Amino acid sequence: MSTLITPRTLSGFRDYLPEVMLAREKVLDKARHVYRSYGFTPIDTPAAEALEILLGKGGDESDKLVYRVRSARSEKEEMGLRFDLTVPFARFAAQYISELGTPFKRYAMGPVWRGERPGHGRYREFWQCDFDTIGTTSNAADIETALVISDLFAAIGFERFEVRINNRLLLNGLLELYGLADRGVPLLRSLDKLPKIGRDKVIEEMVKEAAVTAEQAGRVLDLAETTGTNEEVLNRVEGFFTATPNAKAAEGIRRLRELLEVGAAVGIPDGRFRIDLSICRGLDYYTGMIYETFLTDLPGIGSVCSGGRYDNLASLYTKQVLPGVGASLGLDRLVAAMEELEHPLLTGQKTPAEVLVVQFDSSRLADYQRAASRLREVGIPVEVYPDAKKVGQQLAYAEKRGFKLAVIAGTTEFEKGVWNVKALAKREETAVTDAELVERISELLRPNWV
């Protein structure tokens, strides 16, 4: 007798039951709607890429997270699973840009894989929902990225969130001012860990990894930890460069100011965009504006939508200059936050159908399916119960899964040409004629819909 295999999921991976999966799909639908409203067009790329495409793009630490793929038939071509959707997009753009033209605006949604330690809202397999503009260095594209993020979270139903924004031009200018430009990569990687490990540990790591003194590391952090209103922060940063002007820092500040001005002009609420000089994004390919989005009521889960400008990434695959900017919604981390916050999209409904047609008499299956078909024709999702069980059992099934209405008819109702429509939450039941069925159910589900 064979031993049963214990059903289980691997560490860092998770299953999604219907209630959560329905919420995920709603978020994906809303993201698509927002991205399309700005003119972003859908593309997709393979889950696996040639290993040389993936390695060396996000830095040594990201290389350690790449899942290598080995074919059972051949080991000639080294492959890896994509760790984000940006690097594959850079390869995609380099490959097809002559056909696509510039600027090119795309969105893509799909799973990515990182071999990192699982944590709160952090998985080894997760979905990203990216949008990017490639082929322009205009600050208008950077500003639009921030506007899309704001509209995206408002569309999902969040009111309390903030998009923290910085610009690597400013950070690079600071490093030049301190004579540390050649150590920018390890310094910024360490700075990116500030929220996780704190000031002292960051200084310790900077000293070790970037070979700077503790005093030099402290000066970098002094600027990064600048607090105040957006205007106060930018004014203080400008003060750092009064004696020694720096072109990179000045351009970074100008771009940040313009973003704030445009945001105010289009009605972005005060406080939604916040200049945060401590964020720098750990991936090496960022060159300009950077974004991290936090939920005010659950900041500990980390950034749920991040991104930035990457002007040189595609140059690894083509001689054509293809600067880009974009951001990525972390779907699974966001859904984990929504579960914790009991977000309204998590309604408890375990089915996409709104109406259950009760099968009272198996000999009338054609009538039940005909009624369901008429409702589907006007866009109402309907399920017909597969067995002629007791009505009470079928109604219990409907309530457990979150159906809103049940449609019931037996011998007596068919003789009279009527259906009983039961509102399950209110436990109210009314009889309607067969001719009135579609209109009445439409009214109950969507007042004034017809």
Residue pLDDT, tens place only, 342-379: 998 888 889 999 999 999 999 999 999 999 999 999 99
- Percent of the chain at pLDDT exceeding 90: 66
* DSSP strand pairing (289-295 vs 273-275): unpaired
Whether the Cβ atoms of residue 134 and residue 356 lie closer than 8 Å to each other: no
Residue 324 lies in a domain: yes
Spatial separation of the C-alpha atoms in residues 131 and 35, rounded to whole Å: 7
Task: Tell me: do 181 and 275 sit in the same domain.
Answer: yes
Residue 12 lies in a domain: no
Whether the Cβ atoms of residue 133 and residue 103 lie closer than 8 Å to each other: yes
Phi and psi angles of residue 178, each rounded to the nearest 5 degrees, phi first: -90, 5
Residue 207 lies in a domain: yes
pLDDT tens, position by position, 194-251: 877 888 888 888 888 888 888 888 888 888 888 899 999 999 888 888 888 899 999 9
Q: Give the torsion through C-alpha atoms of 83, 86, 87, 90, to 10 deg.
A: 160
Task: Tell me: do 406 and 262 sit in the same domain.
Answer: no
Confirm whether pTM is higher than 0.85. Answer: yes
Task: Tell me: do 73 and 185 sit in the same domain.
Answer: yes
Residue 349 lies in a domain: no
Task: Tell me: do 404 and 256 sit in the same domain.
Answer: no
Whether the Cβ atoms of residue 143 and residue 261 lie closer than 8 Å to each other: no
Residue 7 lies in a domain: no
pLDDT tens, position by position, 188-203: 788 888 877 888 888 8
Under the banding of pLDDT at 50, 70 and 90, the label for residue 449 is very low
- pLDDT value of residue 176: 86
Residue labelled with tokens 């070979």: 211
Task: Tell me: do 332 and 377 sit in the same domain.
Answer: no
CB atoms within 10 A of CB 31: 23
Task: Tell me: do 305 and 364 sit in the same domain.
Answer: no
Name the domain boundary from 289, 306, 341.
Answer: 341
Task: Tell me: do 336 and 402 sit in the same domain.
Answer: no
Would you tell me the crossing angle of helices 230-240 and 168-177 to the nearest 10 degrees? 30
pLDDT tens, position by position, 268-296: 999 999 999 888 876 677 889 999 999 99
Domains: count for the chain: 2
CATH number at residue 384: 3.40.50.800
Residue 81 lies in a domain: yes
Domain housing 410: 355-445
CATH number at residue 307: 3.30.930.10
Q: What helix, strand, coil percent values describe the chain, rounded to 5?
A: 45, 20, 35
Task: Tell me: do 161 and 288 sit in the same domain.
Answer: yes
Task: Tell me: do 328 and 425 sit in the same domain.
Answer: no
Residue 13 lies in a domain: no
Spatial separation of the C-alpha atoms in residues 69 and 150, rounded to whole Å: 37
pLDDT(160) > 90 = yes
Of 6-10, 38-42, 285-289, the range with the highest mean pLDDT is 38-42
